[in-house]
Amino acid sequence: MLVFPNAKLNLGLYVTQRRPDGFHTLESVFVPLPWTDALEILPAAPGQPTSITLTGRPIPGDPASNLCVRAYELLQADLPQLPPVQLYLHKIVPIGAGLGGGSADAAFALKAANDLFGLNLTAEALESYARRLGSDCAFFIRNKPVLAVEKGDVFEEIDLTLTGTSCVVVYPNLHISTAEAYIRIVPQAPKFPLREALAQPMSTWRETVSNDFETALTPAHPVLAEIKKQLYEAGATYASLSGSGSAVYGLWEAGEPAATVWPPEYAVWQGVL
C-alpha cells in the first residue's frame, strides 16, 4: 500500500502555558499542506523482520527508531497478530522545518497499516496511538483544518478553508529542533483570540495573527525575517513562520506570487492549497 504523507502549516501559534510535565499548552490552527513524502508498507518477505528502506532527504537518527517504524511497533504491541512489514519511505518534506513531516509519516503509517490489514480501527483509536508518537501527530489522522489546543493534540472544529489559496513555503536549509525552540518561549495569552482573528479577511491577519516562535527565534535567525519580507514583496497577503520553524510561508488571497529567486540550497514548495 502506497500513501503520501502531507505536511501542515500553522496559522497563528500561541504558546500559552508551561505544563508540569515540561510540555506546553498552545493554540494554533493546523491546515494540511500538499507537500508530501511517499510511504509504502508491505508484508515482509517470509522469515524477515520489520525493516525500513529510506531514500530522498537524509533523516537524522537511527532508521530503526524512525517514526514510521515506531508507529507500526505501537500497533503491534496491542495487536501481536500483525506480521512484520517492509516500509519504504521516500523523504521529501524538510525536517526540523515546523511542517510536521515526521509526525505525518507516523500518522500515515498507522492509517496505512489499518487499511492494509483491515484492522477497522476508528479515527479516535488511531488518534490515540498517534498522540503517543508526537504532539502534532494526531492532526494527520483526520488531516483537515482544526483549532489545536492543549499540547496541540486536542482539536476543535473551525470553519476555515484555504482551498484555492496560492501558497509558497520556503525552507532555508536550517534545522530548528522543536524542543530547543520551546525553551526560548515565555508563555503568555494571545493578544488577539485566534478563532476570531482568522474569521476576519486574510488582509487583516498581518496585524492580528502571529506565531510566538517567530518572535522568539528571529533574533538568532534573521534569515526568517528576510524570507518573510521577500514573501510580502512578492505580494503575499499573509506570511508567517510555520510551527517552530524554520519554514516560512506566504499566502495569496488572490493573484499569483511574483517570481522570486531563492538561494539554491533552500527547499521551496509553491502551489495551490
Ligand X SMILES: C[C@@](CO)(OP(=O)(O)O)[C@H](O)COP(=O)(O)OP(=O)(O)OC[C@H]1O[C@@H](n2ccc(N)nc2=O)[C@H](O)[C@@H]1O
Ligand Y SMILES: Nc1ncnc2c1ncn2[C@@H]1O[C@H](COP(=O)(O)OP(=O)(O)O)[C@@H](O)[C@H]1O
Detail the residues annotated as belonging to a binding site for ATP: 94-104
Q: From 34-42, 43-51, 110-118, 128-136, give the range in contact with ligand X by CB under 6 A.
A: 128-136
Q: Kind and range of the H or E element at 18?
A: strand 6-18
Residues 132-191 that bind ligand X (CB under 6 A): 134-137, 151-152, 178-179, 182
8 catalytic per annotation: yes
CA pair distance 88, 51, nearest whole angstrom: 9
Smallest gap, in angstroms, from Cβ of residue 14 to ligand X?
11
- Between 102 and 172, whose beta carbon lies closer to ligand Y? 102
Smallest gap, in angstroms, from Cβ of residue 246 to ligand Y?
8
Give the x/- contact pattern for ligand X in 188-217, rule: CB under 6 A: ------------------------------
- Between 104 and 197, whose beta carbon lies closer to ligand Y? 104
174 contributes a contact to ligand Y by CB under 6 A: no
Smallest gap, in angstroms, from Cβ of residue 41 to ligand X?
21
Q: Tell me which of 12, 32, 94, 100 binds ligand X, using CB under 6 A.
A: 100
Q: Which residue is nearest to ligand Y (CB)?
A: 102
End-to-end CA distance of the chain: 25
Q: Tell me which of 244, 248, 249, 251 binds ligand X, using CB under 6 A.
A: 244
The residues, ordered by sequence, that sit 6+ positions from 254 with a Cβ below 8 Å of its Cβ are: 237
Is 244 in contact with 269 (CB distance < 8 Å)?
no
Q: From 96-104, 108-116, 157-165, 253-261, give the range in contact with ligand X by CB under 6 A.
A: 96-104
62 catalytic per annotation: no
One-character DSSP codes across the chain? -EE--EEEEEEEEEEEEE-TTS-EEEEEEEEEEEEE-EEEEEEPPTTPPPEEEEEES--SS-GGG-HHHHHHHHHHHH-TTPPPEEEEEEE-S-SSSSS-HHHHHHHHHHHHHHHHTT----HHHHHHHHHTT-TTTTHHHH-S-EEEETTTTEEEE-----TT-EEEEEE-S----HHHHHHT------SS-HHHHHHS-HHHHHHH--BHHHHHHTTT-THHHHHHHHHHHTT-SEEEE-TTSS-EEEEESSS-PPP----TTSEEEEEE-
Centre a 10 Å sphere on the Cβ of residue 259 and count the other Cβ atoms it contains.
7
Residue 51 preceded by cis peptide, ω within 30: no
244 contributes a contact to ligand Y by CB under 6 A: yes
Give the x/- contact pattern for ligand Y in 98-137, rule: CB under 6 A: xxxxxx-x--------------------------------
Give the x/- contact pattern for ligand Y in 64-83, rule: CB under 6 A: --xxx---------------
- Between 10 and 166, whose beta carbon lies closer to ligand X? 10
Residues of this chain that bind ligand Y (CB under 6 A): 59-61, 66-68, 89, 91, 95-103, 105, 178, 243-244
Residues of this chain that bind ligand X (CB under 6 A): 10, 13, 22-24, 26, 28, 98, 100, 103, 134-137, 151-152, 178-179, 182, 243-244
Catalytic residue numbers?
8, 136
